[in-house]
Structure 1
Amino acid sequence: MSSSPARLDDEALRASRQDGTYPRPQLVRPDWADLTGTWSFAFDDADEGLAERWFASPDFGRSIQVPFPFESEASGIHDTGFHPVVWYSRELTADDLAAAGFGADRRLHVHFGAVDYRAQVWLDGVHLGAHEGGHTPFSFDVTDVVGASTGAGAERATHTLVVRVEDDPFDVSQPRGKQDWRLEPHSIWYHRTSGIWQPVWLESTSDVFVTLVHATPDVPGGTIALRLDLNRRPAADADVRLDVVVSFEGEQLASQTMRALDVTTALVVALPLQTNGQAYEELLWSPEHPRLLDVRVTVRADDAVVDEVYSYLGLRSAAVAGGHFLLNDRPYYVRSVLNQGYWPESHLAAPSPAALKREAELIKELGFNATRVHQKFEDPRFLYWADVLGLLVWAETPGAFEFSPRAVARLSAEWTAVIERDLSHPCIVTWVPLNESWGVQHIAHDERMQAYARSLVSLTRALDPSRPVVSNDGWEHVDSDILSIHDYEWSGEVLRARYLDQDACNAVLGGFGPAGRRMLLDGQKVGDRPVMVTEFGGISYASKAVPDDAWGYSKATSSEDFVDRLEAVVGAVAASSFVAGFCYTQLVDTLQETNGLLADDRTPKAPLETLRAVITRTGPAGH
C-alpha cells in the first residue's frame, strides 16, 4: 500500500486558501503523506499483545479504515461492544516517504491528530513513545529508526508502523464527553469513539524546524503578538533567524526578522495600515467579513533556508462589558446552535474532510453566527472552515464524569493541550472548561470542586487572556465572564416572562435556576456580565423513522408544529431586552436525541429558508 503525494499547490501555500484536507491548517508544510485508509487491525480483549510482542511481528487478522473508530460503520468493523485494547498496523512504503519529502539531511515525523484514549507506537519493532489524551495531537521523530533500518546491509522496502490503544469504557475519570459507559446508548449519551479517529500523516523537516505558530492580535494597537516555537534551542554559535511576512489577499502588510536564541521567540509585528483610524476595520475578521491574514515563517541558518511554514490569523477581539458580548469592541448578539459533532456512520470522526466544511456551511445557512461544539474538541479542519466562512465557536471540554485527582489531572492536561493547539483560530471566542457540573456534580456544596472550577478558569486565562471564559456552562457559576443559563421550558409565554428584562433575569440568576440548580455560587452578583441562554429548545420531531427511545424536551407532531414551537421559544428568548445571546439545542438529530433542526443525514426538518427566517428574526436593535 502506498500513498499518493499530497503536495499542496502554490495557491494553498497561502494557508487561508487551503482545500480543507490538510490535518494541521495553521502550521502548513507543502509536502506530506496521508496515511489514512486501510490498516491491519486486531482486538486484544485478553490484553496479551504486549506480552506476546505483537509490535515486533504484527499478524492482525482484520482490516480497518482509518481514521474511523472501530465502533462505527465507516471503519468496516462496526463492533459497538466493549473492547478496551486494540492494535493497528500499517506498512510505510518508499512512496510514502517520498510523498513526505524525506531524503538526505531531512527528519521524518509521524503525526496523529487524535487517538482515544491512550496510545503506544512502534516502528519496525522500536518503541517510539506513548501518549495519553483522547482528543489531542502527538507526533514522533522516526528518522533514526528509518535510517537504521535502511542503512548499509539492512535495507528494507517498507517499514511497519504499529499502534496499541487502550480505551476503558468504564473509566469515568477519562475526559469522554457524550461517549456512553453502557453497552448501548441511552438518554443523552452516544456510541463510543475508540482508537484512531483523526488523521495520521507523515512529513519531513530539517534538523531545526517550527513546531508552533501562535498569533494574538491587538486590534486597538494595530499589532500582532507572535509566538514562534522551534523544536530545540539553537546552538550558541548558530545564526538562526526567523523571517515573518504577513499579507492579505497577496499584498504584503508587514515583515520582520528576529534571531532565534531559544526554543520560543516572541515578537510583535506592527501593521502600518491599522494606524488609519478611519480604515482599520477593513482588515478585521467577523462572521459578516471573515478576512484572514496569511503568515509565512522562514527559518534561516547561516543564511540558508532550513524550514518554511504557512499559517494564518484573523484580526479580531472578543470580550465582555456592560452586559454585552463584544466582538471587535462592539456589542454583538450571539445566535448559536449546539453541535454534537457526531455522524451516525462515523461517530465523532467526520466521514470526510468535506463533511466538516458542510457542517459549518449548514450552520451559517440556517442563520446562526455561532456554534457551541458540545462535549468535544473538534477536528482543526472544522475550525479552519469556521475561520474561513465566519462562524463564532465556543470551545468546550469533553467532560469526565467523576471528581478525583486522576480526573482533575487528565482534564487539565487535555484542556491545556487544546488551548495550545487552537489558540490562534479567530473563530474561537469563548472557552468552556466545564458543562452542567459534569465531573463536579456537588460543586454547590464541595469547596474542592469549587476550587477546581476556579482553577480551570485561572488556567485558561493564564494560557489565553484574550477571550471570555465560562466556568461551568448552564448553572453553578464560580467565576464566569458570561453567565450562561440552560432552560428547556417548552412554553414560549413562560420563557418570555422569565427573561423579559434585567429584573426578570436577575430573579433567575439570584436563586435556583430552571433546572433546580443554584445559578451563582460564593455570593456572586450579576454585575455587568452578559447573560446568555446557552441551551434551550430541544424540540423532538423525528422527520424520518422514529427510534423507539426517541426523545427531546418537548415533542412536535408535524413539521408545521415543529416550526410553531421553534418560533415560540426562539422568539421568547430573543424578545428579552437583557439577554445577550443564545444557543439553541440542537443542530442535528443524534441517535435517540431527535431534537435537531436537521435529521441525522443533515436534511432540514422544515424548509431551510423557513428555519432561517425564525433564527434571523432574533436579536432586537437594543443588542
Structure 2
Amino acid sequence: MTRRSLATTVAAAFAAACLLPAAAPAAGPAVPAAVPLATGWQKLADPGNEGVGAGYWRPDTRHTWKPAVVPSVITGATTEAAFKGSVEWYRTTFTAPPATAGFTDDVHFEQVRRTAQVWLNGVALGRHEDPYVPFDLPTRGALRPGARNVLVVRVDNRKSSRVREGWWNWGGITRPVSLVPRGALELRDAGVLSDVRCADGGGDCRAAARLDGTLVNRSDHPIAAPRVTLALSDGRTLTRTFAARSLAPGEETHVQFELPVPDAHLWSPQDPHLYGVTVTTSAGDVAQQVDRWRTGLRSVTVEDGMLNLNGRQLQLRGAAVQEDVPGRGPALTDADIAQTVAELKAVHANVTRAHYLLNPKLLDALDAAGIMVWSQAPIYHRDVLLETPAKRDTALATVRGTILQARNHPSVITHSVANELSPVPDTTPGTAAFLAAARSLAASLDPTIPVSVDLLSYPGYARQRAYAAFPLLGINSYFGWYTGKAEHSVAKLSDLGPYLDHMRRLYPTQGLEVTEFGAESTFAGPASEKETYAFQTDYLRRVLAIIEQRPFIGGAIYWTLREFAVKPHWVGGVSRPGVERNSIHHKGLITYDGRRKPAWSLAEHDFASTADYRSVSPAAAAGVADETGGPGRLEALGLALGLLLLLALDGWVIAGVWRRRARARSGRGVAGTRSGQRAEATQEAAGARAA
C-alpha cells in the first residue's frame, strides 16, 4: 500500500468513526428563538454628518426623531441629490427576553446599504461596510435581558465615484433586523449542499446531502463532545450525526460530512421538490443551536461544453431582475417578492439573474417555483478596485459572503464571481489575481455547482487564460445596441453570430450562456428607430434567433424583466434631441410602473416554446454554426478533411499489422514467434496511440 493510499484509508476510517449511525434528539432546555426587531423604529437625518459628535448614538439623546419603518430606504426619490447618498440614523427601543443560561446574543442584519455603525445602549458594537451581504454583531455584554434596550444604527450611503454599479445607489436598512441567541457552541455558515451524480441523460443518479460549516467554541471553557446532526425530511426522515473533536475556548474547526439519500427526489424546474432541513448543534447532549430551512437535491455540471441539470443539457430562457420597487427600492415586501416570481412564471422564464445576492425570501420563493438563478457577487466593473491585495481581499470577502448565503438554494445553478471586468485580464495583473483567487474560493465553498464569470463582449480580443480557467462563462452582449470601442465594434447585430462562433473556438470546453442582452424602449414608432417598442421587439426576436441557431450556446437571459432606477440622466445607448433623460433603465419588458411592453409577448411565446432541455448529443452541441444554423463552411471542410485523414491513418496501421503478422508466420521458431508477437503488440499499441 502506498503512503497516499494509506493516508486515504486512515482519513476515511476517521471520518466513518466520527459519523454516528443514529442521533437521539438533544436533551436539555430548548434553544431560545430569535427575536425580530421589526417595530418601534425612528430615524433622524444627518445632512452635515455631525451625528457622531452630537451624540446621536446615545440612548438618551433629545434630538427630534421621526417614526420609521424597517426595512426601508432613506428616500424613495430618484433625484440627482438622492443618488449621491446621505447619512441617516435609525433607532429602536425594545424589551429583550430574559436571559437563558449559557446563551448570549448577536444583532443580525440581513442588509444595510451601504455602511453601518451600530450602538446598543450607548456601547459601540461594530461597523460593517459591505452593502450586499448579511452580518452579525455580538452584543458583548451591552444587552440588558428582560429590560429596555436602545439599538442605534448610523447608515451612510455616500458612494465613492470609483465604485461602479449598474443600479441605483439605494441607502437604508433594507432587510430585517433580529436579535439572535448564541450558545457556547456555534455552527457558523451552515450549508447543506447537493452532492448528486447523474449519468448522461439523467437516467441514473445517486444523491447525498453534504453539510458544511464551521464549529466555534464561543465559551471560556473547553467543549469535549461537540456534535452536529443533519436531518432531511420529505415524508420520511433521514438523519446523521457528526462527532467533532474537542474545542478549546475560542477555537474553531471545519465540519463536513454527507448524509446519503437513497431514491432521492431531485429538484428541477418541472418538479421543484424540496426537503425540510434541520441542523442541530450540540455540546454533549445539550442543544446549542437549531437551524431549519428547505432545500433541494440536484446535479449541476458542465459536460462537453454544455450546462447540465441532473444529467440533461439545459436550455435557459429567462429575464434578469433588480430588487427595485418604486418608492421602496430593494426594501421588498412579501407582496413584492410574490409579484416578481409571478411575473417570471407568467413570461415562462426557467431562469433569472441578478448582480448581487438576492433577498433570502425571494430565493426561497424561486426554489419553490422551480426558477433557476444565475447568482452573482456584485464585483462589477471594478478593475481599479482590484489593483492591490487589500482591495482584492475586500472583493473576495463579498464573493465569500454571497456564496455562503446562496449555496443553500437549489435554484442557484452557478456562482458568478464578477461581472464585466477587463476583456484582457491576462495583462491586467490585479484582475487576473482576483479571478484566480475568486474561482478557487468559490470552488472550495461550494464544489457542487460550476463557478462562472460574466464577460464584456467585444470582438477582436484573444483567448484569456484567466477566463479559460472557469468552467462556465456568461456572455453579456449588446451587439446592435451600443457601439462598443474603437477596433472592437458591436454596432451591428449581424456580428453577434460570428462573435459567438469565435467564442466557442476560443473556449471549446466551457459552458457558454448569453447572460445579458437588451434594448431600451419608451415610445411607439417603427422598428427601424432605436428606443421604440417595435425596435425592442424586433431586437429580442433577432437575438433569440441567432442563439437558437447555435446549439453550443446553452441559453439566453434578457436584461431585464422590469425597468429599474440606474443613475440620473441615464442615456441608455441612444440620444434623442430635445428629450429629457430620466434615471430609469428602460430595457425592461415591464415598465417601472408595471405595464407590459409589446416585447413581453414575444418573450413569453419564445420562452414557452423552448424546452427546458436540449435533445442533441454533446458532440453536435459543440459544433460552430453560421447564420443559417448549419455548420460553418470552413468548419465543415475541416471536419471532412479530418475524417479522410483518420480513415487513411487507420488503413495504414491495419496494413502494417497484417504485414508484420505475415512475416511472423513465415518459418520463425517458437521463441522467435513469441518475441515477434510481443514486438507486434508494442507496435500496435504505439500505432493506436498515434492514431
Give the TM-score of the pair, scaled to structure 1: 0.76
Q: For structure 2, which runs of at least 5 residues remain unmatched after alignment?
A: 1-30, 198-205, 482-491, 566-583, 622-691
| 8 A contact 2:352–2:371 mirrored in 1 | yes
Comparing 472-481 with 306-315, which one deviates more in the overlay?
A: 472-481
Asked if 1:204 corresponds to 2:181, the answer is: yes
Letter of the structure 1 residue corresponding to residue 475 of structure 2: I
Asked if 1:135 corresponds to 2:119, the answer is: no
Asked if 1:411 corresponds to 2:400, the answer is: no
Letter of the structure 1 residue corresponding to residue 328 of structure 2: S
Structure 1's 87 and 327: CA in aligned 2 closer, same or farther, altered over 3 A?
same
Q: In the aligned structure 2, how far is the partner of 1:342 from the partner of 1:45?
A: 24
| 8 A contact 1:490–1:569 mirrored in 2 | no
Residue matched to 2:157: 167
Structure 1's 570 and 265: CA in aligned 2 closer, same or farther, altered over 3 A?
same
| 8 A contact 1:254–1:271 mirrored in 2 | no
Instruction: Give the alignment of 1:13-52 within 5 angstroms.
Output: 31-37=33-39, 39-52=41-54
Q: In the aligned structure 2, how far is the partner of 1:236 from the partner of 1:49?
A: 43
Q: In the aligned structure 2, how far is the partner of 1:474 from the partner of 1:342?
A: 24
Deviation of 1:609 after TM superposition, in Å, equals: 6.5
Residue matched to 1:72: 76
Asked if 1:601 corresponds to 2:593, the answer is: yes
Asked if 1:305 corresponds to 2:287, the answer is: yes
Q: For structure 1, which runs of at least 5 residues remain unmatched after alignment?
A: 1-28, 151-156, 180-189, 275-279, 511-524, 547-551
Match of 1:463 among 437, 445, 460: 445
Instruction: Give the alignment of 1:70-469 within 5 angstroms.
Output: 70-72=74-76, 80=82, 82-92=84-94, 94=95, 97-98=96-97, 103=100, 106-142=103-139, 144-147=141-144, 157-173=147-163, 177-179=165-167, 190=168, 192-220=169-197, 221-232=206-217, 235-236=221-222, 238-248=224-234, 250-259=235-244, 261-262=246-247, 263-264=252-253, 266-271=255-260, 273-274=262-263, 280=264, 283-350=265-332, 352-374=333-355, 376-398=356-378, 399=380, 401=382, 402-403=384-385, 404-405=387-388, 407-437=391-421, 440=422, 443=425, 445-469=427-451
Q: In the aligned structure 2, how far is the partner of 1:427 from the partner of 1:319?
A: 14
| 8 A contact 1:285–1:426 mirrored in 2 | yes
Comparing 232-241 with 588-597, which one deviates more in the overlay?
A: 232-241
Structure 1's 553 and 535: CA in aligned 2 closer, same or farther, altered over 3 A?
farther
Of structures 1 and 2, the larger Rg is shown by 2
Deviation of 1:193 after TM superposition, in Å, equals: 1.0
For residues 262-281 of structure 1, what are the alpha-carbon distances to aligned partners after superposition, in whole Å with 9 as ceiling and x for unaligned? 4345343343524xxxxx5x
Aligned to 1:80, what secondary structure does the other structure show? helix
Asked if 1:488 corresponds to 2:478, the answer is: yes
Q: In the aligned structure 2, how far is the partner of 1:393 from the partner of 1:413?
A: 21
Instruction: Give the alignment of 1:45-64 within 5 angstroms.
Output: 45-56=47-58, 57-58=60-61, 59-64=63-68
Letter of the structure 1 residue corresponding to residue 274 of structure 2: L
Q: In the aligned structure 2, how far is the partner of 1:504 from the partner of 1:116?
A: 38
Residue matched to 2:546: 572
Q: In the aligned structure 1, how far is the partner of 2:337 from the partner of 2:471?
A: 29
Aligned to 2:51, what secondary structure does the other structure show? coil
For residues 560-587 of structure 1, what are the alpha-carbon distances to aligned partners after superposition, in whole Å with 9 as ceiling and x for unaligned? x754553333233223232211111221
Letter of the structure 1 residue corresponding to residue 116 of structure 2: A
Letter of the structure 2 residue corresponding to residue 242 of structure 1: V
Greater share of residues in helix = 2
For residues 273-320 of structure 1, what are the alpha-carbon distances to aligned partners after superposition, in whole Å with 9 as ceiling and x for unaligned? 24xxxxx5xx11111111112221223444333432213322112121
| 8 A contact 2:536–2:599 mirrored in 1 | no
Deviation of 1:91 after TM superposition, in Å, equals: 0.8
Q: In the aligned structure 2, how far is the partner of 1:400 from the partner of 1:42?
A: 34
| 8 A contact 1:496–1:573 mirrored in 2 | no
Deviation of 1:472 after TM superposition, in Å, equals: 4.0
| 8 A contact 1:120–1:164 mirrored in 2 | yes
Deviation of 1:393 after TM superposition, in Å, equals: 0.9
Asked if 1:615 corresponds to 2:607, the answer is: yes
Deviation of 1:323 after TM superposition, in Å, equals: 2.1
Aligned to 1:70, what secondary structure does the other structure show? coil
For residues 1-26 of structure 1, what are the alpha-carbon distances to aligned partners after superposition, in whole Å with 9 as ceiling and x for unaligned? xxxxxxxxxxxxxxxxxxxxxxxxxx
Q: Which has the higher contact order (CA 8 A, sep 6+)?
A: 1
Deviation of 1:364 after TM superposition, in Å, equals: 2.5
Residue matched to 2:679: none
Identity over aligned pairs, percent: 24
Aligned to 2:606, what secondary structure does the other structure show? helix
| 8 A contact 2:210–2:258 mirrored in 1 | yes
| 8 A contact 1:35–1:201 mirrored in 2 | yes
Deviation of 1:506 after TM superposition, in Å, equals: 3.1
Aligned to 1:572, what secondary structure does the other structure show? helix
